[in-house]
Chain A
Amino acid sequence: MIAYLVTIAILVCVAALVGLALNLQWGQAGLVNFGVVGFVAIGAYAAALLTPQVGWLPAMIAAGALSAALSAGLALLSIRLEENYLAIVTLGFGEVVRLVILNEGWLTNGALGIPDIPRPFASLGESIGGDAVFIVFALGLLAIVFLALEGMARSPFGRALRAIRDDATVTSALGKNVFLLRVKAFAVGGAVMGVAGALHAYYLTYIDPSQFTPIVTAYAFMAVIAGGRGSNVGLLVGAGSIMALLEGTRFLKDVIPVIDGVQLSALRLGLIGAGIVLLLILRPQGLVPEPKRRAADVLPKAGGGR
C-alpha cells in the first residue's frame, strides 16, 4: 500500500510540474498550448538518451534547455497568431513530436522505447530503498520549481503577463514589449515541461511513445482549470485532486460490484469530466484565486496609518 501511495505521489509531482508550466503559459500569460505533451516527451527523451553519457544533472538541464529552446522557437514562429490558431499550431507540434519519436528509430528506438534509464542517486537508492529516495528527489524538484514560478508570478514579470492576458493592446500602449514577454513565458514554461519529462523518464526508467499521448495535455489543462487559472498553489491542489480522482476511482469496483474493470476505466474519465463541469458551474474561478498584490504590501509602512 505504501509503495502504491509513493507511486501516486511521484505521478502527482510529474503532473504538478507539467501543470505549473501550463499555468505560466496559459493561466497567467493567456497563451493556449495544446502541445504540452510534445515538450514533456522531448524532455523525457533528452534525459533518457543523455543520462548514460553525461549523468543525471547535466542531462536534466539539457532536457529543460532543449524544451525551452524549441518552445521559444515555436513561440517566435507562431505567437503573433490569434489564440485559436496558436492552439492549432501547438496541437500540431505535439503530434509531430510523437510521430518523430515513433519513426526516427535510430535515435529513439521507435515504438520499442528506451529501457534501463538510470535514476538519479541510484546507488543511494539501493541501500535505503529506491522509491524513498526518489520521492524526496521528486518533491525537492517540485519545491524548487514551485518557488521559482511563484516568485515570477508575484514579480512585475508575472504582473505584465497577466496584463497581456487581459488585453495585449493596452499592455503594449503602456510600453511593454508584448511579443518578447510572451516568448519568455513560453520558453520558461517549456523548460519546466522538459524537466517534468525528465522526471517521468527517471521514475519509470522506461519510456516509449505510447506514454506521450494528448491525454497528458488534457490532464494539465484540467489541473489548471480545477486549481484556478493563474494560481500556483491552486495548481498543486488541482493536480493533486485530479490524480486522486483518477486513482481513487480504481477502487470503485470494490464498492460497486455491478461494474467490471473495462466499464470502470471508461467511467473514470467520465467522472473526471463531470467533476470539471461541476467545478466550473459551482466555482468557475477555480479552487484557489490568483494572488494579487495588495496596496498595503508595497507601500512603505507609514507607522500609524494614513
Chain B
Amino acid sequence: MSAVPVPLLEARCVAKRYGGLAALDGCSLSLRAGEVTGLIGPNGAGKSTLLNAMTGLVRADAGTVLLDGRDVTALPAHRFAALGVARTFQIVRELGSLTVFENLLLAPRRQSGEGVAASLFARRKWWAQESVNAEKAKALLERVGLFRLADQPSGGLSGGQKKLLDLARALLLEPKLILLDEPGAGVAPPLKIELIRLVRELKAEGVSFGLVEHDMHLVGELCDHVHVMAEGRLLVSGTFEEVARDRRVVDAYLGVAA
C-alpha cells in the first residue's frame, strides 16, 4: 500500500467469520479514486464478502472500512448511496415485478414522494422530481440500449440485459464509486463488449470502479490495478500484467500450495 493520496475506499484488517469459517481473515486493501480496481481470486477467497462488508450489507467482526478517510464500518447499507457508493450484485437481483423504467425511477436519492404524507399532499413537488428523473432514466436507458423495453417487467429481461439494468440503476444514484460484483458472469459476448465500453466511458467521466470478476479478459481490459485475494486475505497487488505473472497467484488458483 503506497502512501500516495488518501484512497477512496479502504479496508483495514477486515475480518468476518461464518461459524468456523473465516471468510475474511484480516484483509486490507484499497481502491484509488479515478481508477478501475479489480478484485480477483479463487472461489471462496472472500471477494463478495469483502464487497458486502465495504457496502454495509455485512457487518465486519473486526477491522475498519474507510470511505474518503471516514469510518463507515458500522454504517447501514442504505446510507452508502448518499455517500456516493453504488453497487450491483453477483446474481442479478432485479426488482422483477417493477418495469424496467420503474427500476430506474426508484433509484434517485432524496425523493420527496417517498414519505407517506408527501406522497399524497405534495404531489406537485414529487411529480416535478419524477419528470426530471424520468429524463435522466430515459437517457441512461438509451445509453445501455434498453429504452425500447422500458415498460416491460424487468423480470423478463435476459441475464445480460439485467446486468446492464443493474448498472444503469446504480448510475442514477450519481455515485462517485461503483462496485460491480461479477458483471461479466452469464453475459453474452456482445453485451460484454457493451459493458466494457460503458465502464470506460464512465471512468473517463470521473467515476471510479471496483470490480469483482472471474473473467480475466474483462479484468485485463478494464482494470488499472488488481488485488488478488486468497483465503480471506490480500495475496498480491499490482497491474494485471504483474499479477498474472506472479507465481503465488498461479499457485492460489491451482491450489499447488496444498
Contacts and interface: CB of A to CB of B under 8 A. Distances in A.
A156 B114 contact: yes
Contacts of A176: 78, 106, 114
A197 B14 CA distance: 53
Interface stretch (B66-74, B93-101, B215-223): B93-101
Q: Is the interface of B mostly helix, strand, loop or mixed?
A: helix
B193 interface: no
Contacts of B131: 298-300
The size bracket of the interface on A is 35 or more
Contacts of A158: 119
Given A155-B119, A290-B97, A299-B131, A173 B55 contact: yes
A170 B96 CA distance: 11
Contacts of A163: 95, 98, 106
Nearest to B127: A298
Contact of B95 (A167, A172, A293, A298): A167
Given A174-B81, A175-B81, A177-B78, A162 B95 contact: yes
B116 A188 contact: yes
A140 interface: no
A173 B79 CA distance: 8
A166 B97 CA distance: 7
Contact of A174 (B96, B106, B123): B106
Given A170-B89, A174-B169, A175-B82, A157 B114 contact: yes
B111 interface: yes
Interface string A148-160: 1001100111111
Which are the 10 A-B pairs with shortest beta-carbon distances?
A175-B81, A156-B113, A155-B119, A298-B134, A166-B95, A157-B119, A295-B150, A295-B101, A172-B78, A172-B77
Interface of B: 55, 57, 76-82, 86-87, 89, 93-99, 101-102, 105-107, 109, 111-116, 118-120, 123, 126, 130-131, 133-135, 137-138, 147, 150-151, 153, 169, 173
17 contacts: A156-B111, A156-B126, A157-B113, A157-B119, A167-B94, A169-B93, A170-B89, A173-B87, A175-B80, A175-B173, A188-B116, A292-B151, A293-B101, A295-B101, A295-B138, A298-B133, A299-B131
